[in-house]
Amino acid sequence: MAIVHAHHVKGGTPGFFADTQPFYLRWGLSDDPFFEPPAPEDAPPAFPELEEQAEFGNVQRHRFEIPRLHTTDSYVGWLKTDSLVLSLDPVSRQGFLVDIGKLIDTKYAGRVSRNFVYEVIVAVRL
């Protein structure tokens, strides 16, 4: 079995993550005004229970930190696929996406990056 999991982590365009948090609060996607993603080395392992499952042996984990560069359109497009954003009603979703798009266009000249740690897990079924 192979699993690829993306962890949201610190990094990317300086200030961008902090600048987006008021929109997450405004549109009900967060209730923590002080939320910060973990440092890349502190991202918790995905599916830690695999090592404890008797039916799997030789669980291997590999991590890669990769910045994702975005234009306004590609970032907003990516957010349209995010399950948290999709949980919003259509009017709120559109308001959130417009706010994020305006922020990227006005403060970041239409380009931002976000860092992710991609964790690749391979487990052999016994």
Tens of pLDDT, residue by residue over 62-77, are 999 999 999 999 999 9
Q: What average pLDDT does range 32-54 have in this prediction?
A: 94
Sign (positive/negative) of CA torsion 84, 85, 90, 93?
Answer: positive
Neighbour-count burial of 74, counting CB atoms closer than 10 A to its CB (0-12 exposed, 13-18 middle, 19+ buried): middle
Using DSSP, state whether 39 is helix, strand or coil: coil
Q: What average pLDDT does range 79-92 have in this prediction?
A: 97
pLDDT of residue 72: 98
Percent over 70 (pLDDT), the chain? 100
Confidence band for 57, pLDDT divided at 50, 70 and 90: confident
Confidence band for 116, pLDDT divided at 50, 70 and 90: very high
Cα–Cα distances in angstroms (integers) from residue 61 to residues 5, 53, 57, 124, in the given order: 11, 15, 12, 12
Q: What span, in angstroms and rounded, lies between the C-alpha atoms of 59 and 65?
A: 20
Mean residue pLDDT of the chain comes to 96
Q: Minimum mean pLDDT among 24-28, 31-35, 62-66, 114-118: which range?
A: 31-35
